[in-house]
A and B are shown apart, each in its own frame.
Chain A
């Protein structure tokens, strides 16, 4: 039944604050397990029952349907993603700046090779992935 718990936690990952979430995870998990039990009782193999239950369950959007003030929840996710994006950009500039500074002032090995470029490209995945998550949330 661990698959069910994992599925539910993944489903609610970015929604709700922790207090509401605990209760919701509990209820969703229990109800899914009840369904699996019922299906197994009717003769379905366990794995198949779990697959069926998870497939028929619905997604995060369906969970939000239940909350009339879901607009504010969505705003919450967008705000969170934007903060992550800002943090990532800030961190990127900080690390990049430090690399450039060290490269040009102190550590000039590799015959003047501008190794800070590698750092800049390497760390770029961070703001980039956050930008992606932000745009996904906004959509």
Chain B
């Protein structure tokens, strides 16, 4: 289990990646992260939704109300073109970071 301290700066990238695959609503995002990381990444929903709000304020994602078969509506998020550009930048940064860490720590981390 990794605490959110280490990974905090990368929650943005994770959310953008998920929305790049398909539009999702808030709790769906939380579930998806939980499943894919097999609960190794302990992000609180409070943090996740607050990040979502921040991303929307920065216009990296936008939201719309989607119909649900029965009952209440859901608020879906989709990535904007600005968000896609930002995501590509983040990926570049990650590649660089990975190269640096691999060069420094080498076989210890593989």
- B9 touching A66, Cβ below 8 Å: no
Provide the main secondary structure of the chain A interface.
helix
Contact assessment for A31 and B44 in the assembled complex, using a CB-CB cutoff below 8 Å: no
The distance in angstroms between the C-alpha atoms of A58 and B44, with both chains bound, is 6
What residues of A have a CB within 8 angstroms of the CB of B28 in the complex? 34
> What is the CA–CA distance of A58 and B4 in the complex, to the nearest angstrom?
13
* Residue picked from A30, A31, A64, most chain B C-beta under 10 Å: A31
Q: Please determine whether B74 and A63 come into contact, CB atoms closer than 8 angstroms.
A: no
B45-53, B83-91, B93-101, B102-110 - the one binding chain A: B45-53
- Taking the closest CB of chain B, its distance from the CB of A5, in whole angstroms, is 14
For residue A39, give the distance in angstroms from its CB to the closest CB of chain B.
Answer: 9
Q: For B53, what are the chain A residues with a Cβ–Cβ distance below 8 Å?
A: 23-24, 27-28, 66
Total number of A residues with any Cβ neighbor in B under 8 Å: 26
Instruction: Give the complex CA separation of A28 and B48 in angstroms.
Output: 9
* Main SS at interface, chain B: helix
- Residues of chain A at the chain B interface (Cβ within 8 Å): 11, 20, 23-24, 27-28, 30-35, 37-38, 56-60, 62-68
- Supply 13 A–B pairs (Cβ within 8 Å), ascending by A: A24-B53, A27-B53, A27-B56, A27-B75, A28-B46, A31-B52, A65-B8, A65-B44, A65-B46, A66-B47, A66-B48, A66-B50, A67-B54
Q: A34-B72, A62-B47 are in contact. List 11 more A-B contacts (CB 8 A).
A: A20-B57, A27-B75, A28-B53, A31-B26, A31-B45, A35-B26, A58-B47, A62-B44, A65-B47, A66-B51, A68-B9
- List residues of chain B with CB under 8 Å of any chain A CB: 4, 8-9, 11, 25-28, 30, 44-54, 56-57, 68, 71-72, 74-75
